[in-house]
Chain A
């Protein structure tokens, strides 16, 4: 089975440019998560969706960040305008949260390493 697919794997861009990160969750998974990993703050949740609806976006740092999930098989995380402090590894994860009573682990993509110059 295909895992969570993220693209691009690496992105280098100049400050002020728009950046779009993409994620395809595992088929049948109805929860999707965006995490950011930095040396200073570790792994932190930015936003998560359930059945394509944003449930918790409290981790989104500011208005420059936005995320969408137009359908069950695709999500984007956009940063506009980008800043050097946005440099990090961004992970997408998905899980089959059919019932919270069950322990459904999250499956992670390989991440996008973003560098803002």
Chain B
């Protein structure tokens, strides 16, 4: 079974600075998808960014980018120019390409943005 590990329960960053959230996963599959979801205090689960394992190019979405290292099974999220609205829980998630459609989540990282 696949597992996702987020080793940083909490992180903090100064407004306008850059922060990187770590995620590692364990799988024997070669094709899969990876996601970062954001959960603000309002409880919504918001998709931040996604990556296909077959793509070597790292995904980017405005201030959000990932560092995908397939051999190391690592999928970190970098937030540039941090804003107060980025404060939230961030969850890394894994999904098989050919098997179950379910998302396997990490335990999350709580990000605090200091003004």
List chain A positions with a Cβ less than 8 A from chain B.
31, 33, 35, 42-45, 48, 50, 55-56, 59, 89, 91, 93, 95, 97, 100-101, 103, 105-108, 110-111, 113
Give, as a whole number of angstroms, the nearest-CB distance from B76 to chain A. Answer: 19
Query: Is B108's CB under 8 angstroms from A50's CB?
Result: no
Give, as a whole number of angstroms, the nearest-CB distance from A85 to chain B. Answer: 19
Query: Is A33's CB under 8 angstroms from B45's CB?
Result: no
List chain B positions with a Cβ less than 8 A from chain A.
33, 35, 37, 42-47, 50, 52, 91, 97-98, 100-108
Partner of B102, one of A42, A56, A91, A103: A56
The interface residues of chain B, by DSSP majority, are classed as loop
Docked Cα-Cα span, A93 to B35, in Å, equals 15
Count of chain A to chain B residue pairs whose CB atoms are closer than 8 Å in the complex: 55
Docked Cα-Cα span, A57 to B34, in Å, equals 22
Give, as a whole number of angstroms, the nearest-CB distance from A55 to chain B. Answer: 7
Give, as a whole number of angstroms, the nearest-CB distance from A91 to chain B. Answer: 6
Q: Given A103-B33, A105-B50, A108-B45, are A42 and B106 also a contact pair (CB < 8 Å)?
A: yes
The interface residues of chain A, by DSSP majority, are classed as strand
Nearest B-chain residue to A31, judged by Cβ? B101
Nearest A-chain residue to B100, judged by Cβ? A56
Query: Is A111's CB under 8 angstroms from B43's CB?
Result: yes
Give, as a whole number of angstroms, the nearest-CB distance from A64 to chain B. Answer: 21
Partner of A44, one of B43, B52, B105: B105
Q: Give chain A residues whose Cβ lies under 8 Å from the Cβ of B42.
A: 110
Highest count of chain A CB atoms <10 Å: which of B44, B50, B98, B106: B44
Q: Give chain A residues whose Cβ lies under 8 Å from the Cβ of B52.
A: 103
Nearest B-chain residue to A4, judged by Cβ? B45
Q: Give chain B residues whose Cβ lies under 8 Å from the Cβ of A50.
A: 101
Q: Give chain A residues whose Cβ lies under 8 Å from the Cβ of B91.
A: 43
Give, as a whole number of angstroms, the nearest-CB distance from B100 to chain A. Answer: 6
Listed A/B pairs (7) with beta-carbon separation below 8 Å:
A45-B103, A45-B104, A48-B100, A56-B102, A106-B103, A108-B46, A111-B45
